[in-house]
Amino acid sequence: MWLSHSLKIPELDGLASVIVGLLLVFVSFTLARETRSMLMVEGIAPETRKKIAKLAEKDVTVVNTKTYYRLISRREKLS
């Protein structure tokens, strides 16, 4: 805005708005591409899931991870 006032070219203000809009579109596409697996609800590898369950079960406050693991496995078999 300062540049458009100092040069007395009001079109620069509009051009700056278009550039900001294009930048926002680029960032949104990049974020969508990078987080696609989370957006598409893709699961993790079974080995990773087992490692996480073992780590969680070591904690005394965790009651059970098996039920949740079975629910996930059933859902994957249906898809």
How is the chain split into domains, by residue range?
A: 1-42, 43-79
- Give the pLDDT of residue 59: 83
Helix/strand number for the chain, H first, E second: 5, 0
Q: Report the alpha-carbon distance of residue 31 to residue 59 in Å, rounded.
A: 34
Q: Report the alpha-carbon distance of residue 39 to residue 78 in Å, rounded.
A: 19
Burial class (CB in 10 A: 0-12, 13-18, 19+), 23: exposed
Q: Is the pLDDT of residue 45 over 70?
A: yes
Q: For 1-10, what is each residue's pLDDT tens digit? A: 677 778 888 8
Report which of residues 21 and 64 the model is more confident about: 21
Average pLDDT over residues 28-32: 91
Q: Is the pLDDT of residue 33 over 80?
A: yes
Amino acid in the structure at residue 72: I
Q: Report the alpha-carbon distance of residue 14 to residue 22 in Å, rounded.
A: 12
